[in-house]
Structure formats: structure tokens, C-alpha cells
Amino acid sequence: QKEVEQDPGPLSVPEGAIVSLNCTYSNSAFQYFMWYRQYSRKGPELLMYTYSSGNKEDGRFTAQVDKSSKYISLFIRDSQPSDSATYLCAMSEGSSNTGKLIFGQGTTLQVKP
Amino acid sequence: EAGVTQFPSHSVIEKGQTVTLRCDPISGHDNLYWYRRVMGKEIKFLLHFVKESKQDESGMPNNRFLAERTGGTYSTLKVQPAELEDSGVYFCASSQTTVYGYTFGSGTRLTVV
């Protein structure tokens, strides 16, 4: 069983839709939760990070972490064609000894004009 | 601020040959990481340098892979001899902390034929 599960999609939505992306995980030691966006032929770019449980909002993006359910979400409001990319969840234990991130497989999102 | 630079961007080599990938991190970032994405799979951790020291190399697949970080600046990842299953995209990232906020390079796409 993978430590982090993420539906690879693809997910196609019309412009302006609310997008919900999700990951589940099995390691209860994870403390830091991140969402990365990756455009084709580029490296992952950090969108948001959250420590422990709770919500975090940044513009059109909202990240939620539910540690009791081992479930994290990213919501994109008023989605734009420029949001079309692969979205990767990533997690870490936050140990000072290693910065190892565990990634989900990534969800490919297409926002149609 | 210059980003993380990786080269070559693409490399096609024959099975049994040697390939060396290079990564130039963001200046001042002590932490440098190598990750790999094999087709159809998630991005996986290979190793973590703090300055010139290997902090965590638990993700290195086997002894055909050798990573070095000269003087705590740029890093190289050598694969010798290359096998077909080594094909994938190799990402380098750097950061000031070990928890989040990594900046990834655009990756080196390695194809072993």
C-alpha cells in the first residue's frame, strides 16, 4: 500500500468551477502537508503548505487537513484555464534529520474556457 | 534570485553507459535533494544533502547511483552503468529549511535505450 494515495484523474472542469483535489495517507507521523503545482516540462512549484490540522486560504486556493481521517484537500475557486496543470500533494514528518517528502501520484486538471 | 538549475534537460543513453546529472541549487540553500519520477509513478525521494554531507540517502535505489556535492555548492548524480529501469525524470530541489519551501528545478529527463 502506498503511503499517499491520490487519484491521478484526469479531471476536466469548465472555467469558473470549484475544483476539489484530495489525498489520503497512512502514516500518522506526517505533520507537514503541501500542495505543489506542476506545469508540463517544469518542476513542481509549491502552492501551499499546512502544519498539522486545519485550513489555510490563499486567494482562490484553500488547503484543508483532517489528521483524524488522514485526509487532505485543495480547493480552487473560480478556476481558470491557467490552473490547468498537475497538482501534487506531498507530506513530511517534519523531522530535523531529513527533509524527505512523500508525494502522491498527482492529479491532472484541465480547465476548459 | 536565480532558481534551481539542472542540466542537461534531456539525456538519451544506451544501456550500460554512464550519465552524470548536475544540479545548481539556489545560492545560500544548505539543503539539496534529489528526487526521481518514473513514468506512471509518483515522485520519489532519492537523497538529501546538508551542505556537503549526505543527511539521508535512504531512497537511493542501488550502488549504481552515486551522488556528490562538492564544497556544499552544486551536486552531481552519476548513474553507472545505466539500466533501462533508470529512465525517468530526475528532479533536484533546494531549501533553507528541511520541512517545506523547497524550490525544484525543471528536471533532467533521462531515457535509457
Q: pLDDT digits over B56-100, tens only?
A: 999 999 999 999 998 889 999 999 999 999 999 999 999 987 666
User: Which range in A53-57, B5-9, B53-57 is most confidently predicted, on average pLDDT?
Assistant: B5-9
With an 8 Å Cβ cutoff, is A49 touching chain B? yes
Inspect the interface and report whether the beta carbons of A4 and B42 lie closer than 8 Å: yes
A64 against A51, higher pLDDT = A64
Give the per-residue pLDDT at B1.
64
Mean pLDDT of chain B: 94
What number is the average pLDDT over the span A43-59?
Answer: 91
Residue A23 DSSP SS3:
strand
Inspect the interface and report whether the beta carbons of A105 and B42 lie closer than 8 Å: yes
Q: Which of A26, A31, A86, A101 to mutate to test the interface with B (most CBs of B within 10 A)?
A: A101
Give the per-residue pLDDT at A9.
85
Give the per-residue pLDDT at B98.
67
Stated as kind and residue range, the H or E segment containing A66 is strand A61-66
Give the per-residue pLDDT at A51.
86
Distance from CA of B17 to the nearest CA of A (A): 25
Give the per-residue pLDDT at A77.
98
What number is the average pLDDT over the span B46-62?
Answer: 94
Look up residue A95 and give its three cell numbers: 523531522
What number is the average pLDDT over the span A8-20?
Answer: 94
Distance, CA of B62 to chain centre: 14
Strand A11-14 relative to strand A107-112, pairing: parallel
User: Of the candidates A27, A4, A9, which has an alpha carbon nearest to the alpha carbon of residue A19?
Assistant: A9
Asked if residue A4 lies in contact with residue A53, where contact means CB atoms within 8 angstroms, the answer is: no
Q: Does residue A106 register a pLDDT over 90?
A: yes
**Percentage of residues of chain B with pLDDT beyond 70:** 96
B73 against A8, higher pLDDT = B73
* E-strand stretches of chain B: 5-7, 10-13, 19-24, 31-37, 43-50, 53-56, 65-69, 75-79, 88-95, 103-104, 108-112
**Percentage of residues of chain B with pLDDT beyond 90:** 87
User: Of the candidates A7, A13, A1, which has an alpha carbon nearest to the alpha carbon of residue A72?
Assistant: A7
Residues 16-45 of B with CB under 8 A from A: 31, 33, 35, 41-45
User: Which range in A30-34, A52-56, A74-78 is most confidently predicted, on average pLDDT?
Assistant: A74-78
Give the per-residue pLDDT at A58.
94
Phi, psi of B56 (to 5 degrees): -155, 115
Q: Does residue B109 register a pLDDT over 90?
A: yes
